[in-house]
Structure 1
Amino acid sequence: MPIPSVEPTVNAALSTLLEAAINNKTKPPGSLGELESLAHRIGLIQRTVHPRIVAPAVIVFAGDHGITAENVSPYPQSVTWQMVENFLADGAAINVFARQNGCALHVVDAGVNHDFGIRDGLLDRKIGRGTRNFAQQPAMSHDECMLAIERGAALVGRLDGNVIGFGEMGIGNTTAAAALMHKMTGAPLSQCVGAGAGLSADGVAHKLQVLERAVALHEHASEAIDVLTTFGGYEIAMMVGAMLAAAEKHMVLMIDGFIVTSALLVAAKLQPAILDYCVFSHCSDERGHRLMLAHLGARPLLQLGLRLGEGSGCALALPLVHAAVNFLNRMATFESAQVSGKER
């Protein structure tokens, strides 16, 4: 399957119409701040001055990582499958926030080291029972990586909505994300490595040492797909495919935290125009995420000190997406409300 192709949203005529529509609402120009930029972006994504939100959904991709053998997480690998069970039991934060905000939730087994069997609410797209330990060998084969991308893209093809949030679950995946960040942005590893699920200072130092050895071992990996194959996870690769397919369908992409943004770094290397379709939900408290966002020129909607993952930031930011679209469509204009506009 070829990599999905993403068209830029640039449209000067439509941009002018959207700016006029936004500025003609009964408010001082710019007074709704980021909501105005968000409404403009969504209008360009949907190619209309009357955008709408249809069937928003969050997809949580779960996968295990061989790098956990290097003791880079304070939690055992079994927590990945246990949290998938929690998602299916409607007990996780993302379940609460998605339900609260009228957002569908889909849970995907991209590569968990567990046999779930056939389960209601679980989409089985398993590539393998966790990746290999990239401190010793590439995490995936090229074929496995491309299959994960393909399966992620195919999942998006099943959705009827036009807004998609991305979430993940996978013990060890902040280590994979830190490696991807380093290779995709050129930032020093020391600026990419954080506490993840709660490492001590000594644990973070050990994690950095593991990554330094792994990066040196795979120094040859430089192209986006090679980097993803070498350091990524099945859930991260599947997100890359899903992101590219969603942008190809002109959907609004809601980007969560550190791990999801690492997938976007890869996707943006493959198709730079994908950034036109992204809404950055929040700035994570995981070290490195702020630098990721700066590298992408992103302006996150929320800053709540989150570092949970699961797509939780997407669900929490969704009301702001609704608000941006609603004010553009429903707020009175100066003419309709018979309110005097700005004189000069």
Structure 2
Amino acid sequence: MADSLSALPFEDIRTLLERLPAADQAAAAAVRARDARLTKPPGSLGRLESIAEWLAAWQGRERPAVTRPLVAVFAANHGVAERGVSAYPQSVTRQMVQNFAVGGAAINQLCKAYDLGLKVFELALDFPTPDVAAEDAFDEQGCTATIAYGMEAIAGGIDLLCLGEMGIANTTVAAAVYHALYGGSADLWVGRGTGVDDAGLRRKADAVAAAVARLADERDPLEILRRIGGREIAAMVGAILSARMERVPVIVDGFVTTAAAAILHAMRPEAIQHCLFAHRSAESAHGAVLDRLGAEPLLDFGMRLGEGTGAAIAAGIVRAAAAVHGGMATFEEAGVADRT
């Protein structure tokens, strides 16, 4: 699928969005029927029960399972970093990618703890996208090629995709996407990201305002992505879309990864029904974005690291939900008396 899109225009992305497979309602119904016979009061496992049903509906399995989960981390650099919008230099992106490779990052430890695969996708780190406050991030072909590259994240028969990212200044770019999609003032959408001081926060808000001002009246989500997005956001758009086409459930991490989901939601709200949102980021605007997406995150741990860390923890919960549903005995199997 990725190769067939790598040189095609946005219209082909729009066409895919018109052909989204629906949830498998028969599989979901089978989960509900089995859940009603498990050795517990109905509803007593709360959201674990609805997670099992969600997983079955998108995997198309009456007994959902997580056997080949993958955390896909997309790493990119951004020209807007030169405006002093981050507490760290742009060189940290590559240094962190190297840290991922040797197993030294937080996401490495969480993947070990929850037995998750990890793959890092480097996106031309030595060639940052232009400063989106002054120039467009991509041309149409470049943006589409990056979306197509992201589609490769589901290769290899995975059954759960967890999205993560790494990129100095990418919270600035994500905030610009939200500002363009949802309006308001730039200050509503920016947060401290890597820990910028007050002056850095002001520079960040000014950069976001300048980027969106360049758009004038542009409201096409793909054009917003092309003009003020980043490579990791475009690639995650592709990963989410490809996962939907192949019936792979997706866990979306935090503030930046949610920007990819927001682009697709703005194009067609049903496009992210196969997505579970891992956590509410400590970035102040993330809750407002989740509200617009109608998403109820699993966790609220005050996290803001990125890297897919929230998604990895959520994957442990999803895996537990599938194991409980599939492994519990029914009342009949256990010889336990059901309700009268």
SS of corresponding position for 1:164: strand
The alpha-carbon distance between structure 1 residues 259 and 175, as it changes in their structure 2 partners (threshold 3 A), is: same
Identity of aligned residues (%): 37
Aligned to 1:105: 118
Deviation, structure 1 residue 187: 5.0
Checking the alignment, whether the CA contact within 8 Å between 2:24 and 2:60 is kept in structure 1 is no
Alpha-carbon distance in structure 1 between the residues aligned to 2:177 and 2:159: 28
Alpha-carbon distance in structure 2 between the residues aligned to 1:135 and 1:173: 13
1:184 aligned to which of 181, 184, 190: 181
2:215 aligned to which of 218, 231, 254: 218
2:239 aligned to which of 242, 251, 255: 242
Deviation, structure 1 residue 53: 1.2
**What is the number of residues matched between the two proteins?**
326
Deviation, structure 1 residue 289: 1.0
Aligned to 2:149: 151
Deviation, structure 1 residue 57: 0.7
- Are 2:58 and 1:45 aligned? yes
Letter in 1 for 2:79: G
Alpha-carbon distance in structure 1 between the residues aligned to 2:27 and 2:184: 37
Aligned to 2:72: 59
Aligned to 1:231: 228
Alpha-carbon distance in structure 1 between the residues aligned to 2:109 and 2:285: 27
Alpha-carbon distance in structure 1 between the residues aligned to 2:199 and 2:41: 52
Deviation, structure 1 residue 188: 4.0
Structure 1 unaligned regions, length at least 5:
114-128
SS of corresponding position for 2:273: helix
Q: How does 1:89-168 map to 2 (within 5 A)?
A: 89-113=102-126, 129-156=127-154, 158-168=155-165
Aligned to 2:90: 77
Letter in 2 for 1:190: D
Say what the alpha-carbon RMSD is for the aligned residues: 1.6
Alpha-carbon distance in structure 1 between the residues aligned to 2:326 and 2:185: 45
Alpha-carbon distance in structure 1 between the residues aligned to 2:268 and 2:147: 14
Letter in 1 for 2:263: V
1:8 aligned to which of 16, 22, 39: 22
Deviation, structure 1 residue 148: 0.2
Alpha-carbon distance in structure 1 between the residues aligned to 2:222 and 2:216: 14
1:273 aligned to which of 270, 282, 286: 270
The alpha-carbon distance between structure 1 residues 15 and 55, as it changes in their structure 2 partners (threshold 3 A), is: closer
SS of corresponding position for 1:111: coil
Letter in 1 for 2:21: E
SS of corresponding position for 2:165: strand
Letter in 1 for 2:107: I
Aligned to 1:321: 318
Checking the alignment, whether the CA contact within 8 Å between 2:66 and 2:159 is kept in structure 1 is yes
- 1:248-276 CA-to-partner distances (Å, cap 9, x unmatched) read 11001011000000011112234433322
Structure 2 unaligned regions, length at least 5:
6-11
The alpha-carbon distance between structure 1 residues 297 and 224, as it changes in their structure 2 partners (threshold 3 A), is: same
Checking the alignment, whether the CA contact within 8 Å between 2:264 and 2:272 is kept in structure 1 is no
Alpha-carbon distance in structure 1 between the residues aligned to 2:50 and 2:185: 32
- Output the TM-score relative to the length of structure 2: 0.91
SS of corresponding position for 2:163: strand
Deviation, structure 1 residue 181: 1.4
